[in-house]
Structure 1
Amino acid sequence: MSDNSDKTIQQLVKEWLELDQNEATRQEIQNLSDKEDYDELERRLRTRIAFGTAGLRSSMQAGFAHLNPLTIIQASQGLASYLLTSVPQTTPSAKPSVIIGHDHRHNSSQFAKLTATAFILKGIKVYFLEDLVHTPLVPFGLNLLGANAGVMITASHNPAKDNGYKVYWGNGCQIIPPVDAGIAAAISENLIPLEGAWDTTVLSKEDGHMVEKVKGRVEEAYFEKVKGLVEKMAVDGEEKVRFVYTPMHGVGLEAAKQVVKILGVGEEDFVVVEEQAKPDPDFPTVKFPNPEEKGALDLAMATADKHGITIVLANDPDADRFAAAEKVEGKWQILTGNQLGVLFASHMISTTSSPVSEAALLSSAVSTQMLAAMGQMDGFHHEETLTGFKWLGNVAQQITARGTHKAIYAFEEAIGYMFSDVVHDKDGIAALSVFVTMLKKWLSEGTTPAGKLQELYEKYGFFESCNGYVVSPSPDITRKVFDGIRKLGEEGGKKFPGSLGGREISYWRDLTEGYDSATSDGVPVLPVDKSSQMITVGMDGVRFTIRGSGTEPKIKYYVEAKASGKEEAAKAAKEVAGAIVQEWFKPEVYGLIA
C-alpha cells in the first residue's frame, strides 16, 4: 500500500477523517486527536495494514493499520480492480464474478456487505452467501458457480478482537505469489472510497443481475459432495458411534448436524457441548478459541465424562480445522494434528477406488515425516510443500493436472485436513464426516483411534513430535535470531552449523537464503521467500523446522523424532526442542518469551 512515511501525524489524522464515513471509527480517531495521543495515533495510522497470501488479519480498530470499514472498502476496491485487469474478458458482457461469505465475528456481516458493495460498484457480479457459513463453503461455491475469486470474512481461531479478509483465486485455492503482490499494489491505487461505497443497501435493492444470494444452493451441493466422499468409505455392519461435539462458539454446529444426518448417527449419540453450541463472537468459555490451545477442550471432555462417552470431536470457530480426543484407560488424550493426519491418510489409502500407486498425498514442511514413510512402504506418491494450504491446495491441483497421479488428500500439523474431492483447502466439516466414518470402521475391527494409531506406529515406526514457539518482540528481532543461527555455520567455514545439542547436523535447507544441502546444485526444490524466515534441519533420527510466523509475533519450532519405541522418540524430540530454544533462539539475549 502507499507509503505514509513522509506525512505528519496531523496530515494522517486529516486524511482518515476525510475518508472514513463510519461514525464509530471516525470518532475513535477524533478522540485520540483531541487528546493529542500521538503515540497511539502513530500506531494506528502510520503503517497501512499489509495484504499478503493470507489476505488481511488484524484487530478491529480505527486506523490504516487495522481492520475496519474503511480498510475493508480499500482492500475490496483494490481486489476488484486487480480482478478486472487479470481475468480475460471473452466478450464485452462477460464480467468477472466473486463469491463472498462471512462468519459470526463482530463486524463480519458488515464487512461482507461492504466488500460486496465495492465489487458491485466496480461492475463485478457478486454471489453472496447471505448468512453465517463455515469457511470451506467459499472455495467450494467458487468452483461450483465458476466465480473468479472468493472472499471470506473470518479470523478463524484468532482472539475475539480480531477479524480477517481471506482471498481465494479462480482455481478455488488460497492465493499465492505473485497474485498477492498484484492485489496489494492495486489496493494502494484504490484508497479513496467510490461514491456509494458506504451504502450497503444496494445488496437488497439488486434484482439478481449483479447480486445473487446463493447460500442454500451452495450448501446443498456441498453436502451432496461430502455424502459422496463418505459413501465410498462405507463399512458393513451397523456399529454405533457416540461422541461429544463442540463448534467452539463458532459456526460449525448446523453443518455438523448435516454430517450426522448423512452418516445415520442417532441424535442421542451426537452430544453437543451446549455452552459452546451457539455462535458467540466473544468466545466466553475459552481463553483462545482454538482446539489446539491448552484447556480449549476441557468443557467438551467434561461433557463426555458426564455422558459416559470416550470420544470428543471439535471444530474451530470457522470450522475449517478439526480436532479429536479419546479417553484411553481413564485418561483423556488429545490427538495431535500429525496423529490425525496419518490416521486420515491411512484411511484414504485403504478406501481409495484407484490403484494406490496412482494416488498422491501431501503434507507441509512442518508436518510429520511419517506420511513420507507410509508412501515409501505402501507405494503412493508423497509430496512436501511449503507451510499453508495455499501451497497444499495449489500443488495438489498441479500434481493431478500432470496426469500421473491424483492428489486425494493433504494435511498440515496445525489440525488442517484437505479432501480433494470436496475442496482444495482445509475443511473441518469434511474431516468430521471422514473421522466418524473411520470410527465406524475401527469399531467393526474391534479397535479405537488409539489402537489404530498404535498399529500404524508398529508398521511404519514411532514418530513423536515436540512443537512450540517463543514470542518475538518484532520482525527485526526475529530476523536477527535467524541471522545469528546462520552465523554459527560461518564460524566453522560452512553454510550451516555442524551440530546442535550434541547431535551432528546432516541436512540443511534454508528457504530464506535459498540453499539446500541435499540438491546437486544447492538450490531448494521448494520456493524461496526472502521475506520470511524458514530453515529445516536433519539429524540422525530427528528432523525439525524453525520459522517465523506470518500472522503472529512468534518464532515456531516443529521437532520430530523417529525411533523403534514411543518413549525413545519422544525423549529425542524433547531434547532437540530444548536445544533449539536455549542454543539457537537464546531468549535472554534477544528478549524472547519462551
Structure 2
Amino acid sequence: MNEPSPSLDSQQAIEIARSAVTEKQLSDSAFTNLQRWLTEPQYAPYQAALLQLIEDRDFGTLDTYFWEVIPFGTGGRRGLMSDLGSATINERTIAESAHGLAAYYKKASGNETGKAAIAHDSRINSNRFARIAASVIAAHGLTVYFYKTSRSTPELSFAVRHLGCDVGAMITASHNPPSDNGFKAYWSTGGQVLPPHDQGIIDEVYQATDVPMLDFDQAVEQGLIKYIDEDVASEYRSSVIAQSHSTNRDLNGLFSPLHGVGETSVFHVLQQVGFDGVKRFEPQCEQNGNFPNVPDQLPNPERTEVYQPAIALGNETGAEIILASDPDADRLGVCARNEAGDFVHLTGNQVGALLADYVLQKRHTAGTLTPDHFVVETIVTTPLIAAVSRAANVRIINNLLVGFKYIAETMDEEGPCKFVFGTEESLGYLAGEYCRDKDAAIAALWICELAAELKSEGKTLLNRLDELYIEHGYHLEGQISKTCKGSSGNEQIKQLMKAFRQTPPQKMGNLTFTLVRDYQNLEIRALPENSPSETFSKPQGNVLMFEAQAEGSPLTVQLGVRPSGTEPKIKFYYFAQAGVTDPAQLAETKSGVLTTIEGFKQALMDWIDQTLETS
C-alpha cells in the first residue's frame, strides 16, 4: 500500500479516536480494536495508514473496518475486503486466520507436524489470500496440499478426506458481493470446524502477534507446499458420479457457474455422465470475481434475478431446465418450466424435497433402505422433507442449527453408512460419504436425472412437486431478510432479537401466534403470555421459532428468526402447511395460502420497522 505521511503519533490518534467515541462517531468496540492496531508491533505496517484515516477524521470508514474482530460464523470468516482492519478480510486477517487454525490444531492434537489442504475460488484476491494462508500454515510445520487452480468448496472438503489431512482452508465468500471474501476452516473430517474448535481458533487469532510465514515459491521448491494434481479432482468427480441412480439422460438445459468455479465440478460431472443436452451459459462462464454478467453483480442462486439472462436464451433454445451454482459451487439453484411454458424458480426447500423423494424412491426400489437409514435437515428447512422421509420409513433428523457443518457432524455421529441425504433451505445438498460439505455437483446430477425420468413420463419437476403436496399436504416456505451493516446494524439486529424474545408480536395479518420455541434459552413459551411451558436440551443457538394459527382456517404457520452467521442480516423464515383432501382443490389451496402469507409478510415488515423506530 502507498504509505501516507500523517502528522499524528499513535497516542495523539488514540485521544482523537477516544473523543470520537464520546461524540458517538465511533463505536466502543471499534475503538478497542483500533487501539490494538495503533499500539501493537505486529500491526506496524498498517499504522501509518491508520493515522492518516484518524487525521482525516474518517470515522465512518474506521468504524466499518474495526467494529468487530471478524468472527467464525456459520460459514467461517466472511466480509468486506480492505487494506486493513480487524472487521474486514485483508492480508493480515487472512494470515491470522491461517495462523489460528494451525496453532490451535497443534495445541489440540499435541502434534508439531501434520497435513493441510487449501483451495480457493475465483473471487478477487482469492488466489493471493490462499497463497498467504498456505505460507503461514507451512511455516507452522504442516505439509500443505494446494490446489493450483480455482476449485469448488466441496473439492476442498474431499481433498481433506482423500489426502488424510488434519485441517483445511477454503478462500471464498460464497455468494456475497464482489467486495467480499472469506476464510472457511475445516477439520480432519472434511467438515467445517465445530465448537469448541471454532472458538479455540479465534482465541489463537486474537492472541496472534508475529505470524510466521514462508516464501510461497521457496516452500514449493522445498516440498513444504505440494500442488494437488488433476488426479484428486478426477477422484472427486468419480465419487460424485458413483451416487448416480439413473441412466436416463434425455434433457435439454443450461448451466451457469455465475462467473465462479462450477464448471470444474458441476458441469464436468454432468458432461462425464452423458447429459450432453445441458449446455454452458457462456456469458456467465468466465471466472471473474466482479461477476459482470450477473444482474446487480450479486451471484446468489437464491435470487430469481440471476436467472433472467439464461432464461432469455433458454426460451430461444427450448431448454427444459436451468441450473446455477454459486461462485464456490457448493449451492445449486434450479429453474424448471411450468405447463404454460414459463420458467419457475424452485426454492431450496422445494429442490430438497424433490431430491429427498427421488433418492428414497430409488433406494427403496433397489432394496437398500432400512429403518436405520436417515435423512438430515436443519430447523429452518421445510417439514415436507420430514413427511417424505417418514413415509419412506427412514429416520428424519431435523433439529439441527443452521450451518451445513451440523449436517456433516450428524453424518459422522449417526454413521455415514446409514446416511441417505442432507439438505438445508439455502440451496445446500449432500449425499454419499466422499465429502462433508454441501455440493452443487451431486444436486445437479440428481435433479437432472429426476427431470429426465419425469420427462420420459410426460411430467415435469413441478408436476412431481404437486404430487408430493397432494400426498403430504401443501407446503409454502420462504425467507425475508433485513440487512443491517456495521456496528449500528449489529445493534439493530440485537434490538430485534430482544424484542422478538421479550415482547413478541401477538398477531400478524390474520395469524395469531400461539407459542415460541427459544433455542437460546432452551424453553418453549406459551403466547401471548410469553411464559415458559416446557424446556428442552438441544440444540442451543440464537434462534426463535414461532408457531401461529390462521383465523378460521386449518392453515398452520411457523416463523423462524435468527441473525445470519455470514452476512450483516437478520433472517426470517416462514413455513405454511395446509392439508389437501382433493387434488382438484390444490390450486385453490395454493391461492388461499399465498394470500394469507402475503398479508403476514407485510405485517412482519411493518412490525420490524415500528420496533426499530421505537427502540
* Length-normalised TM-score, structure 1: 0.87
Distance in 2 (alpha carbons) for counterparts of 1:382 and 1:410: 10
For 2:327, the aligned partner's letter is: P
- The answer on whether the counterparts of 1:53 and 1:176 sit within 8 Å (CA) in structure 2 is no
User: For residues 590 and 302 of structure 1, what CA distance do their matches in structure 2 show?
Assistant: 41
- Please point out which of 280, 283, 290 is paired with 1:275: 283
Tell me how large the CA RMSD over aligned residues is: 2.7
CA distance in 2, matches of 1:117, 1:588: 50
1:360-384 per-residue CA deviation (whole Å, 9 max, x = no partner) reads: 1111111111112223323111111
CA contact (8 A) 1:229 1:422 kept: no
Q: Does 1:130 align with 2:160?
A: no
SS of residue paired to 2:423: strand
Residue from 5, 9, 12 that aligns with 2:37: 12
User: Against the structure 1 CA distance between its residues 559 and 44, is the aligned structure 2 distance closer, same or farther, given a 3 Å change threshold?
Assistant: closer
Deviation at 1:302, TM superposition (A): 0.9
Instruction: Indicate how the Cα distance of structure 1 residues 88 and 265 shifts in structure 2: closer, same or farther if over 3 A, else same.
Output: same
Call closer, same or farther: CA 1:467–1:32 in 2, change over 3 Å: same
Structure 2 Cα separation of the partners of residues 553 and 310 of structure 1: 36
In structure 1, how many angstroms separate the alpha carbons of the residues matched to 2:479 and 2:557?
A: 13
2:304, 2:345 within 8 Å by CA — same for their partners in 1?
no
Asked whether the 8 Å contact 1:48–1:65 carries over to 2, the reply is: yes
1:296 aligns to what SS in structure 2? helix
- Does structure 1 conserve the Cα–Cα contact (< 8 Å) formed by 2:522 and 2:537? no
The equivalent residue for 2:354 is 343
Aligned with 1:161 (options 179, 194, 209): 179
* Deviation larger for 303-312 or 314-323: 303-312
Q: Report the alpha carbon displacement of residue 34 of structure 1 after superposing the two structures with TM.
A: 6.0
CA deviation digits over 1:282-340, x for unaligned, max 9?
Answer: 01122111111241111110111121223111111111000111222132211111110
Partners of 1:443 and 1:132 in 2: CA distance: 35
**Partner in structure 1 of residue 58 of structure 2:** 37
How far residue 48 of structure 1 moved from its aligned partner, in angstroms, is 2.8
Task: Please show how residues 124-523 of structure 1 align to structure 2 within 5 Å.
Answer: 124-194=142-212, 197=213, 199-207=215-223, 210-230=224-244, 233-235=245-247, 240-266=250-276, 269-286=277-294, 287=296, 288-328=298-338, 329-352=340-363, 353=366, 354-384=368-398, 385-400=400-415, 406-472=418-484, 473-488=488-503, 500-516=508-524, 522-523=534-535
Cα contact 2:302–2:333 (8 A) shared by 1:
yes
Deviations 1:270-291 (A, max 9, x none): 3222110110110112211111
SS, match of residue 169 in structure 2: strand
Identify the match of residue 547 of structure 2 among 537, 540, 548. 537
Tell me how far apart the structure 2 counterparts of residues 53 and 453 of structure 1 sit (CA, whole Å). Answer: 30
Partner SS for 1:278: coil
- Most deviating of 350-359 and 406-415: 350-359
- The amino acid of 1:199's aligned partner reads D
In structure 2, the residue corresponding to 1:561 is in which secondary structure? strand
Q: What amino acid maps onto 1:488 in structure 2?
A: T
Q: What are the equivalent positions in structure 2 for 1:45-194 lying under 5 Å apart? A: 45=66, 47-61=68-82, 62-89=84-111, 95-194=113-212
Identity %: 27
1:463 and 1:562 in contact (8 A); partners too: yes
* Secondary structure of the corresponding residue to residue 110 of structure 1: helix
CA drift at 1:101: 0.4
Instruction: Judge conservation of contact 1:512–1:535 (CA < 8 Å) in 2.
Output: no
Check whether the contact 1:247–1:319 (CA below 8 A) recurs between aligned residues: yes
CA contact (8 A) 1:251 1:319 kept: yes
The unaligned stretches of length 5 or more in structure 1 are 490-496
Taking structure 1 as reference, are residues 10 and 411 closer, same or farther at Cα in structure 2, changes over 3 Å only? closer
**Normalising by structure 2, what TM-score?**
0.84
CA offsets, 1:166-222, max 9 Å, x none? 01111111122111111111112223222xx26322333223xx3221242321111
Which of 583, 590, 597 matches 1:573?
A: 597
- In the superposition, relative to structure 1, how do residues 480 and 283 fare at CA in structure 2: closer, same or farther (>3 Å)? same
Q: Which moved more, 1:544-553 or 1:378-387?
A: 544-553
Q: 1:591 to 1:111 in 2, by over 3 A?
A: farther
Q: CA deviation at 1:27?
A: 7.4
SS of 1:257's partner is helix
Unaligned ranges ≥5, structure 2: 1-27, 527-531, 550-554, 581-588
Give the partner amino acid of 2:281.
Answer: V
Q: Is the contact between residue 560 and residue 573 of structure 1 (CA under 8 Å) also seen in structure 2?
A: no
Aligned to 2:18: none
- CA drift of 1:477 comes to 2.1
